[in-house]
Structure 1
């Protein structure tokens, strides 16, 4: 069985979350992943206020749908797209 990889929206930065157990909240897991990545240094230096604003403006998406900070994340691989940032 092949995993489905959703298409990445234009002008977006993709974070691939690989979790070995489910997480109750997306915001904590995603912020940690952003701080640990080395592809976009501007995004890596994001403040908590700016990070919260990405959720409020709908710029964080999972499978093309707006994500909320309290969204739970299932065990396995989850593709999160952050609109307005571009993979280099």
Structure 2
């Protein structure tokens, strides 16, 4: 397995930005081609998420997106493109 560690900064808390919002990370591997989605991988207040990608992703470049879902599950943020990462 390949470990991916993503960190983020938060804006000031508002009704649309709470520490208990749940992070979802979507990873796309163009070489395979396949998506892997990690729902509720962390809370916004954690400011980081650590998770495992398939070992088969070694040597590939993946593209990552992130969004948050509020604790009630009825509001979703805009997705943000995090960039590409080489899984050396």
TM band (smaller chain): 0.3 to 0.5
Q: TM-score when scaled to structure 2?
A: 0.33
* Structure in which a larger fraction of residues adopt strand: 2
* Structure in which a larger fraction of residues adopt helix: 1
Higher relative contact order (CA 8 A, sep 6+): 1
